[in-house]
Amino acid sequence: MQFRLAPALLVFLGSYFPLAVILALQDINPDTWQSGLCLSLRNCSLPRVSHPYLSLFGLLLTLSCLLLTIYVLNSLRCKYPVEIQASKPIPNELISYSFPYIVSFIGVDYGSTGKVAGLAVFLLWLFLITYRAGQIIMNPILLVLGWNLYEAEAQINGHKRVIRLLSRVDPTPGVYLCQAVQGNYISMGVRQA
């Protein structure tokens, strides 16, 4: 079972907040960069951006998706006991998330409608591939925030299963409190007392 479309899109878009920052920085007018550092608050001014609406939209959209993803993960109530018998990390496939960053340095410019449309189609295609492959949860932003994905042999309600577990700690054998979210298990790393 995989994430539903809306939560998957939320997680996917949130993972590209750093890309939105890179694109926004690239959109700052060269005159602003040449003016040097602002050492006095009286003489400071906001940087001039060539395409403020696109830059701001990209930043706000991806930041809000990232913050909402973090909020949802932190507000999950992990209350179901899952006995982990063995686990191993699932290698994080970062290359699919790296391509858009590489593309941004090749020449994506908010001033070129064709390049922005091309990037949007590219990201949509990447989303569909990662969604259909069930790999949305393999997200580099979650990795940076301390979450890792594991394949675990688990005992759940008396049945032995192999599950995917998103956890903040390395799940050594024991009973952990988890929450099932669309076929994936999430644990804050809390062992059952």
Q: What is the pLDDT of residue 132?
A: 80
Q: Write the pLDDT tens digit of every residue in 147-177.
A: 888 999 999 888 999 998 989 888 999 999 9
Q: What's the predicted TM-score (pTM) here?
A: 0.78
Q: What is the pLDDT of residue 181?
A: 77
For the chain, give the secondary structure using H, E and C.
CCCCHHHHHHHHHHCCHHHHHHHHHHCECHHHHHCCCCCCHHHCCCCCECCHHHHHHHHHHHHHHHHHHHHHHHHCCCCEEEEEEEEEECCCCCHHHHHHHHHHHHHCCCCCHHHHHHHHHHHHHHHHHHHHCCCCCCCHHHHHCCCEEEEEEEEECCEEEEEEEEECCCCCCEEEEEEEECCEEEEEEEECC
pLDDT band at 1 (very low <50, low <70, confident <90, very high): very low
